Structure 1
Amino acid sequence: MTSNTPSTAMNGRVLDRAGSGGAGKLPKWLRLLLKSKTGTTGVVILLVVSVTAIFAPLLAPHDPVQQNVADMLVPPAWAEGGTSKYLLGTDNLGRDMLSRILYGSQVSLVVGLLSVVLAGTIGLAIGLVSSFYGGWIDNAFMRLVDSFLAIPNILFTLVILKVTGPGMTTLIVVLGVTNWVVYARIIRAEVLSLKEREFVRAAKSIGVRDATIMVRHLLPNVTSSFIVVSTLSMATTIIAESSLSFLGLGIQPPTVSWGGMLSAGREYLSDSWWMATFPGLAITITTLGVIFVGDWLRDLLDPRTKEL
């Protein structure tokens, strides 16, 4: 009886490890994702939107720019008086709404991603250099930041687009150039604290170059904040692109954009509600998906988050 006790205890520990092994093998990010309802929802939304954008030519039932005068303002197939040919109806020029929404996802993702990459690169570089060197360099960059903060982003963007003319490339550059400030301020605040740490002082004492310290020692420590800000900034950028396209200063026809579709549908709200409703829902759902993922990433990358 006594001789079997260690074996029994050992077997119990083995069974415990085997029973919890499935959960223990899951990566931390996946466990956090499965635990977070908003995170899971956001990831699913972004996956659907991304797949839609990539495979839009295969998924679209009709040519998004093909006009059909005989089918103008046809209601959705499931609505009263609808036709099975058009699932989400047609617009005032007889173009299929579903196909246009599918193609519009490409514009929103491309503009959002590229604008965030440009703004993040500018803000990261300025934030690192400004806080690392300090002195007059920091003062000069911070006065530049104050200048950008003094002018509303949308007003600054409208002025530049009015001078340079609308277009996708111009829109990406303008949104990137006007949205770097938030990155610079957050990165600067973190580096001001990090540069006084022992590992930075040790690197300086042995003659490591400043560029190497910033890239190899400081940059990895601000990556989590950078990713979270980038995610939330992308939601803002998608809304900005839609707003500018709505005003006629963003994406120009025949390129399809959700903001342009929303602008075209505002004149038909009373009797052709689907023209504005579906693009508006696409913008709202995509933006919420990005925000949900940003909240999840904040929890995932927060150093204060305890191991689950």
Structure 2
Amino acid sequence: MTLQRWVGVFLLFSLLAFSWGVPLIWPLDPARQDLMVLLTPPDFDWSVGVTALGTDHLGRSLLARLAAAVRLSLGLALIGVVTAAVPGVVLGVLAGWCGGWIDRGLSLLADAVFALPGLLLVLLVLAIAPGSFIALYVGIALLLWLEFFRVVRAQTRRLRQAPAVQASRLLGFGPVLLFRRHLWPELAPVVLTLAAFGAAATVMATAALGFVSVGLRPPVAELGLMMTELLPYYDEAPWALLQPVAVMALLGLSLTLLAGKDPR
């Protein structure tokens, strides 16, 4: 594994340790308000925890809110990528292997969805249930499966003509064995790369939608929403706004560094 992937793994595990360690050590409510400690600067007193990273404009602990926001972003990225990867890979292999009307029909469906801009598709789903986590998840999954389908379809069309695959077919091996022994070893690195990029795109899209106030709604702790809430107080408490910005940048960087592995 290259140095850049080691850096990505380190950053990602550090963020995971932060997001899951904070509620175990300091069981703080990220939505709890305390109007006596508005915009308190960080005191780095980890024995207290509440004001270790300061408080926001409503007196809520930024430590607790950042940890909850990282859990939400990574959780949404994980389930969104898995939900998109499974149908994307299955349909891509089916279209690339079978060809004919199956390939044309699935490609037509993908082209119809791809004709809509990505964020517009998510916004259309969110318009049905504004502020809903389920609607946001469905919209992102509908957007991500296209990349898996198009890339896997193209790779499968190439691989089915390989001499080793043709020889296995002549020997009478079934489709499950052909997929496991010939297709998946070549597709796996590509799929994992798409998954890493898809997770990074999900984190950025969730934050972008929250920043323009069309994603999740208060008092949910979400990075983009936190930036929107803290932006009016930048002159008074710049450290409060920079924290979700820095965490989002580290999340995107860690997931991007994990991607890029070439197929065999």
Say whether the fold is shared (TM-score over 0.5): yes
CA 1:147 to 1:85, structure 2 compared with 1: closer, same or farther past 3 Å?
Answer: closer
Deviations 1:75-99 (A, max 9, x none): 2237xxxxx9623221111011122
Is residue 88 of structure 2 the alignment partner of residue 141 of structure 1? no
User: Shift in Å at residue 61 of structure 1?
Assistant: 6.8
Question: TM-score normalised to the size of structure 2?
Answer: 0.90
Q: Which moved more, 1:161-170 or 1:207-216?
A: 207-216
CA 1:278 to 1:287, structure 2 compared with 1: closer, same or farther past 3 Å?
Answer: same
Aligned partner of 1:50 among 13, 16, 19: 16
Q: Flag structure 2 segments of 5+ consecutive residues without an equivalent.
A: none
CA 1:192 to 1:185, structure 2 compared with 1: closer, same or farther past 3 Å?
Answer: same
- Pairing of 1:1-20 with structure 2 (within 5 A): none
Distance 1:283 1:118 in 2: 23
Letter in 1 for 2:37: D
Deviations 1:171-205 (A, max 9, x none): 22221111111111111111111101233223333
User: Shift in Å at residue 236 of structure 1?
Assistant: 0.7
Distance 1:137 1:204 in 2: 20
Q: Flag structure 1 segments of 5+ consecutive residues without an equivalent.
A: 1-31, 79-83, 304-308
Partner residue of 1:116?
81
Aligned partner of 1:222 among 187, 211, 234: 187
> SS at 1:71's partner residue?
coil
CA 1:88 to 1:203, structure 2 compared with 1: closer, same or farther past 3 Å?
Answer: same
Distance 1:185 1:59 in 2: 44
Distance 2:50 2:174 in 1: 65
Distance 2:244 2:57 in 1: 14
Aligned partner of 2:252 among 274, 287, 291: 287
Distance 2:225 2:158 in 1: 45
User: Shift in Å at residue 288 of structure 1?
Assistant: 0.5
CA 1:89 to 1:53, structure 2 compared with 1: closer, same or farther past 3 Å?
Answer: closer
Question: TM-score normalised to the size of structure 1?
Answer: 0.78
Aligned partner of 2:210 among 232, 241, 245: 245
User: Shift in Å at residue 136 of structure 1?
Assistant: 1.5
Is residue 35 of structure 2 the alignment partner of residue 96 of structure 1? no
Report sequence identity in percent: 27
Q: Which moved more, 1:264-273 or 1:212-221?
A: 212-221
Partner residue of 1:263?
228
CA contact (8 A) 1:65 1:254 kept: yes
Letter in 2 for 1:262: M
Partner residue of 1:28?
none
User: What is the alpha-carbon root mean square deviation over aligned residues?
Assistant: 2.2
- Pairing of 1:168-207 with structure 2 (within 5 A): 168-207=133-172
User: Shift in Å at residue 106 of structure 1?
Assistant: 0.5
Matched positions, count: 261
Q: Which moved more, 1:194-203 or 1:206-215?
A: 206-215
Structure having the higher Rg:
1
Partner residue of 1:3?
none
Distance 1:114 1:216 in 2: 27
Partner residue of 2:6?
40
Letter in 1 for 2:207: S
Distance 1:45 1:230 in 2: 17
Distance 2:78 2:243 in 1: 23
Q: Moved runs in structure 1, 4+ residues, more than 4 A?
A: none
